[in-house]
Amino acid sequence: MATKAPDVAYVDTNVLVGLFAAPDHALHDRALDLFRRVADGDVALILTSVITAELCFVGNRVLGWSRPKVADTLSRLLEADGLIVPEAASLHLALDLYGRHRRLAFPDAYLAARALRDGPTVIATFDRAIGSLPGIRVLPRAETHRVAEPKVPLFESRSVDLAAREDEHMEGFGESSSTLAVRAPAAAQV
């Protein structure tokens, strides 16, 4: 007798929050029911990097977990039967970096993990926390780059003729990328 293929669905953050929440949480029982179906092989859930990032935030800020607890709990979640995690290796490394580096936000840890796993190991950022990671080089160098706050005339509220001069202020904005000298490397072009 042939076994029926499981339903496959992307899982949203609220389902996983319901699973991790206390039994009196409004979503807890529904999440448990869904994960029983996952355990029975009736459903498979796809966990994306974006949802993992949201879970880091919710785990730390809403559920009150420490960064190491967030990293450990979510790393174990990535291994759960019935979960499909397309970027499992990168997410494991990102969670490890997030758990060990308190100044590193999860999106930055994910970016660093992708750079370390897939290359190049150079990241364009002004974030010093990323630049402090072994094996990562940043462009431009965060410690020497200084940028003055831009003055944008469109936000001057005392200019009575501002709307009439919009074209003047917006000249060149949104021009075709063919006029730009910077182009993506051939490997990055789609």
Query: Which of 67-81, 125-139, 145-159 has the highest mean predicted lDDT (pLDDT)?
Result: 67-81
In this structure, of 4-8, 116-120, 157-161, the range with the lowest mean pLDDT score is 157-161
3-state secondary structure of 127: coil
Q: What is the dihedral of CA 118, 119, 124, 126, to 10 degrees?
A: 70
- Who wins on pLDDT, 189 or 123? 123
User: 122-124 and 83-84 as β-strands: parallel, antiparallel, unpaired?
Assistant: unpaired
Q: What is the pTM assigned to this prediction?
A: 0.72
pLDDT range class, residue 185, cuts 50, 70, 90: very low
Beta strand residue intervals within 97-166, DSSP E:
122-124, 137-139
pLDDT of 180 above 50:
no
Quick one: which of 99, 102, 73, 77 has its CA closest to 88?
77
pLDDT of 72 above 90:
yes
